Amino acid sequence: MSTYRVAAIQMASGSQVTANLQIAAKLIKEAASMGAKLVILPENFALMAMHPIDNVQIREKQGSGPIQDFLSQQAAHYGIGLVGGTLPMVATSQHKIRAACLVFDNTGQQISRYDKIHLFDVTAAPDEHYCESETIEAGDQVIVVDTPYGRLGIAVCYDLRFPELFRCMQGIELIALPSAFTAVTGKMHWEVLIRARAVENLCYVFAANQGGYHVNGRETYGNSMIVDPWGVVLTRLNRGASVICADVDLEKQADLRCHFPALEHRKIQC
């Protein structure tokens, strides 16, 4: 499949899983109606917790749970590839989760899982502090999955700041980036980082962000976007819950890589 349509979904998720899934279902339906064959949900799409420990209370075992069932059913119902943002999964510690991004094919079968590697332990502003490592157990595996839509690398939010992660994704053509980027950091760095990852890897980047005010007091940046391998922003959404779509042309990407073979000129390999 050399040419097809991709959708990135933006949400402003709240503290009620059922309500968030209802909104996600509506937006997935909209994306499918727009002809999208591959759909990406944002980080924490099912729950933007009032307190980090709330994620531990709803964490799911691999292959079993209402959020996983929801993703599988949506993918199968609309016959789409679905990158399921992140959801809280069981960790080795009883007091932590894995922030897992699950990928489903168009039959509803889970075909890959990426556990967020880089955890957001920062002070974004004098009164805005985050420490994901208190309740999240970091992953340690770089994930690339072969799909009918191309070779897809998965990263989540804060991962975006670590270019070496993407360099370790061998042979990727596409990058899915579910996120909940803060308003403070997003204003300064979101677009420039996304476009940099697209340009240096000559890849399409599908960045699905949370975008708005949340009942837990957080404000996320929004500006979900789809960027082509030359760094051109094909489409973007400022704030609120909605869908953006763009067409991917893998033949055009291959032609670009042929005429501008920067990836072949690399001297330092990971």
Active site residues: 43, 116, 157
- Residue in the block written with tokens 């420039």: 192
Q: Rounded to an integer, what distance in angstroms lies between the CA atom of residue 144 and that of residue 167? A: 11
**Residue 238 CA neighbour count, 13 Å, CB half:** 0
Q: Which of 101, 79, 257 is nearest to 175 (CA)?
A: 101
Q: Rounded to an integer, what distance in angstroms lies between the CA atom of residue 23 and that of residue 2? A: 31
**What are the Cα distances from residue 184, in Å, to 45, 89, 101, 107?**
20, 28, 24, 39
Q: Which of 58, 62, 40 is nearest to 48 (CA)?
A: 58
Answer whether 87's CB lies under 8 Å from 41's CB. Answer: no
Q: Which value, in Å, is the radius of gyration of the alpha carbons in the chain?
A: 17
